[in-house]
Amino acid sequence: MEKNNKIRWLWENMEGYRGLYVVGIFGTLLYNVLHLTVPHITQVILDMFLSGENAAYNLQNRRNLFYGLILAMVGLTIFRSVVVYVDCMIYEKVSQATLFNIRNYLYNKMQRQDMKFYSFYRTGDLMTRLTGDLDAIRHMIAWVIRMIIESFAMFGVTMTYFFFMNWKLALTLVMIAPCIFVVIILFKRKVAPKHRKLREKFALLNTVVQENISGNRVVKAFAREDYEIEKFNECNVDYSNTNKETAFTWLRFFPIVETFANLMPVALLAIGGLFLIEGELTFGQYAAFSGLIWAIANPMRNLGNIMNEFQRFDAASAKVLELYYTEPEIVDSPDARDIDGRLKGKIEFKNVSFKYEDAYVPVLHDITFTANPGDTIAIMGETGCGKTSLIQLIPRFYEPVSGSILIDGEDIKSWKLTQLRKNIGLATQDVLLYSDTIDGNISYGNSNISEEDVKKFAKYSAADDFISKMPEGYDTIVGERGVGLSGGQKQRISLARALAIKPSILILDDTTSAVDLETEKTIQDGLNNLDFECTKIIIAQRISTTKNADKIIVLEDGRIKEMGTHEELIARHGYYYDVVQLQNGNEVI
């Protein structure tokens, strides 16, 4: 994206505060014009009252003007300070408000992304975009833009004033300016790639830290602390070096700019002195030149710094904009329909094939089956055969490459996405509980349910027993920074959470793998006696779970290898039969 588009994007996000920002810019211009007042009045005082032929007369007879001018100087200085103060407040307010808008928008945007997005971006990188990069954008609004306006205004206003006083001297001074611009442009070319690199290194550093914090158990289990510290150290050194490199880039240009800037007073002294001697310049005018020469030199000095910050903004905003404009691929189709009440829960897969975008080979081939409302479908198969991939197609986490999936006789694409998902209760293979109470976790998808209902769903999931035994019962905080739960306990809470939305379709991905056989039996009884109808798709390896299913699907390498009831599959003497034998303790020959 072009630079001016980035500025336009910034402007668009200032909505509601644009007027105020324009006032802020005018404020900057105003206080830079006010810069001139004190040196100008000094010049008038010098020429009228202290030097020149009428000085003695003026001092005698026009004393009131003299005092008036002194008072005006004091008054204008105070006024200028007030303007600067208010102006800074305006920039701060606008930048914070804009930041707030962008941050909210980005967060919303991220929440609505699909699975592919989350497998593509690393958490550390996303966090960097939402923190450091956004701060660079705030800095642009509050400081960089102000400094650009200030520098150009100060330079422009002072130069104009100089030209009015003595154009020859002003022209001599202004000739130094283009040299500085050339240096700054060269600097920009060198520093821009450095800022992009710096930003990448920072994101990498954040990623390492984030993965380490969330993976601390693994680090400890393998006693890899030293290795991790070393890994972090490498990243840190790398980041620090890039930081230094970026800073040194400016330091290489700095002496050149500084020399030009310092030449200003020298040129003034030499040429201005000559003019003064030859009577081309009054003493007061010379004093005004000399009192304002910094207002010419400083903007030039600042340009390097401004350019540096501008490049930081450029690198950061490119990252933020990428996120700002990404659209999820899986969205409602234009003619998507509302779901009237509850779905009945009939699921049909018709020749569905599926491939992950980054994979070479498809993981599902030509899957066809039907689940009638209220049916229980068990899916079995070796690890990696595509079970999880298959069930993820139902809530449209991914889109099949070919074939179609129908629910209640309609392609799932014809339903509104959020409504479709609200009808599906999913307990995923990796259980994630929020740092919240058990009650809060169970009612996550349906926050309106009563305490009794939460208890009821926990009973269906054989979780009520262990929850009630906890000191704070359903109010116990679990998840990150909460009390620890066993794998099986977490699974049961996640099952209760899936049930609590009273879904038309319940999908359990290995949800009872970590519970003992007796508890599993209780859960099965619970699921058979639910007080609402739902179609259940259960991924499981245990025959005890699958044997009562209406249909068992055995997957192998992404294809349906066997399909039928327990009895039918046993009669086939295939894969299922072997598993039954194995689990009964019989060797398979």
Distance separating alpha carbons of residues 254 and 364, to the nearest angstrom: 61
363 touches ligand DUT by CB under 6 A: yes
Among 136, 257, 385, 543, binds ligand DUT (CB under 6 A): 385
Nearest distance from residue 142's CB to ligand DUT, in Å?
42
Nearer to ligand DUT, 383 or 529 (CB): 383
Instruction: State the DSSP code for 435.
Output: S
Q: Are strands 402-407 and 347-354 parallel, antiparallel or unpaired?
A: antiparallel
Residue range at the interface with ligand DUT (CB under 6 A); choices 95-103, 162-170, 369-377, 380-388? 380-388
356 touches ligand DUT by CB under 6 A: yes
Nearest distance from residue 504's CB to ligand DUT, in Å?
23
393 touches ligand DUT by CB under 6 A: no
Q: For residue 195, how many C-alpha atoms fall within 13 Å in the half-sphere facing its CB?
A: 23
Q: Which amino acid is at 490?
A: K
Distance separating alpha carbons of residues 127 and 135, to the nearest angstrom: 12
Nearer to ligand DUT, 116 or 342 (CB): 116
Per DSSP, the chain holds a count of helices (H) and strands (E) of 26, 12
Give the neighbor-by-neighbor strand order of the sheet with 424-427.
424-427, 505-509, 535-539, 376-381, 551-556, 559-564
Among 386, 395, 488, 526, binds ligand DUT (CB under 6 A): 386
Residue range at the interface with Mg ion (CB under 5 A); choices 91-99, 129-137, 333-341, 382-390? 382-390
Site for ligand DUT in 119-158 (CB under 6 A): 119
Rg (CA), the chain: 36
Among 37, 210, 372, 429, binds ligand DUT (CB under 6 A): 429
359 touches ligand DUT by CB under 6 A: yes
Nearer to ligand DUT, 319 or 387 (CB): 387
Joined tokens for residue 507: 């999908």
Sign of the alpha-carbon dihedral angle for 282, 287, 292, 298: positive
In angstroms, how far apart are the furthest CA atoms of the chain?
126
Nearest distance from residue 585's CB to ligand DUT, in Å?
23
Binding footprint of ligand DUT, residue count (CB under 6 A): 13
388 touches ligand DUT by CB under 6 A: yes
Distance separating alpha carbons of residues 151 and 298, to the nearest angstrom: 8
Distance separating alpha carbons of residues 473 and 450, to the nearest angstrom: 15
548 touches ligand DUT by CB under 6 A: no
Nearer to ligand DUT, 158 or 511 (CB): 511
Residue range at the interface with ligand DUT (CB under 6 A); choices 11-19, 83-91, 377-385, 430-438? 377-385
Joined tokens for residue 353: 């094939």
Joined tokens for residue 327: 């659209």
The distance of Cα 238 from the centroid of its chain, to the nearest Å, equals: 23
What is the length of the chain? 589
The CA-based dihedral angle spanning residues 359, 365, 370, 375, taken in that order and rounded to the nearest 10 degrees? -50
List the Cα angle 576/579/584 in 5-degree steps: 130
Distance separating alpha carbons of residues 149 and 137, to the nearest angstrom: 17
Joined tokens for residue 348: 């049909």
Residue range at the interface with ligand DUT (CB under 6 A); choices 381-389, 472-480, 516-524, 526-534? 381-389
Nearer to ligand DUT, 386 or 479 (CB): 386
Site string for Mg ion, 419-458 (x = CB under 5 A): ----------x-----------------------------
Q: Is 507 helix (H, G, I), strand (E, B) or coil?
A: strand
Distance separating alpha carbons of residues 454 and 459, to the nearest angstrom: 9
Among 32, 249, 389, 504, binds ligand DUT (CB under 6 A): 389
Site string for Mg ion, 326-365 (x = CB under 5 A): ----------------------------------------
Cβ atoms of 474 and 455 closer than 8 Å = yes
Site string for ligand DUT, 61-100 (x = CB under 6 A): ----------------------------------------
Nearer to ligand DUT, 304 or 386 (CB): 386
Residue range at the interface with ligand DUT (CB under 6 A); choices 214-222, 266-274, 325-333, 383-391? 383-391
Instruction: State the DSSP code for 586.
Output: P
Nearest distance from residue 497's CB to Mg ion, in Å?
19
Nearest distance from residue 360's CB to ligand DUT, in Å?
9
Distance separating alpha carbons of residues 515 and 362, to the nearest angstrom: 32
Nearer to ligand DUT, 38 or 385 (CB): 385
Nearest distance from residue 513's CB to Mg ion, in Å?
10
388 touches Mg ion by CB under 5 A: yes
Among 384, 487, 571, 582, binds ligand DUT (CB under 6 A): 384
By a kind-dependent CB cut-off of 5 to 8 A, residue 386 interacts, out of ligand DUT, Mg ion, none, with ligand DUT
Nearer to ligand DUT, 317 or 494 (CB): 494
List, as one string, the DSSP characters of 411-433. EGGGB-HHHHHHTEEEE-SS---
Distance separating alpha carbons of residues 245 and 248, to the nearest angstrom: 5
98 touches Mg ion by CB under 5 A: no
Nearest distance from residue 543's CB to ligand DUT, in Å?
16
Beta-carbon neighbour count of residue 447 at 10 Å? 8
383 touches ligand DUT by CB under 6 A: yes
Contacts with Mg ion by CB under 5 A lie at: 388, 429
Contacts with ligand DUT by CB under 6 A lie at: 119, 356, 359, 363, 381, 383-389, 429
